[in-house]
Amino acid sequence: MDEWANFRSFSGGGWSARGGKGSNPYVLSATPCGSSTGSAIAAAASMAAVTLGTETDGSILCPASLNSVVGIKPTVGLTSRAGVIPITPRQDTVG
């Protein structure tokens, strides 16, 4: 996940302090989009059948769209947020 969904850094979407810039597995020059982009990249590259990410404002849906996978943003409160540091409790959800 990007550094606190880009709230604590100015890096672009898909940046990881551990591994550097994540790449869209289909178009390496395309942006992978969003702070939970690693989940979409892993699914698109067949590294995992199912992945989890957090969504506040497009962090699941944007990477899913640009990496050609399905992203589901559940209704807030439908899934557990245990261990999630929320940006806003009214929007944050795990999907």
How many C-beta neighbours within 10 Å does residue 9 have? 12
- Band (pLDDT 50/70/90 cuts) for residue 94 is confident
Question: Do residues 45 and 32 touch, judged by C-beta distance below 8 A?
Answer: no
Q: Which contiguous run of DSSP H or E holds residue 64? A: helix 61-66
Tell me the per-residue pLDDT of 24-51, one tens digit each, with 9 for 90 and over: 889 888 888 887 888 999 999 999 999 9
Rounded to an integer, what distance in angstroms lies between the CA atom of residue 44 and that of residue 51?
10
Q: Which contiguous run of DSSP H or E holds residue 94? A: strand 93-94
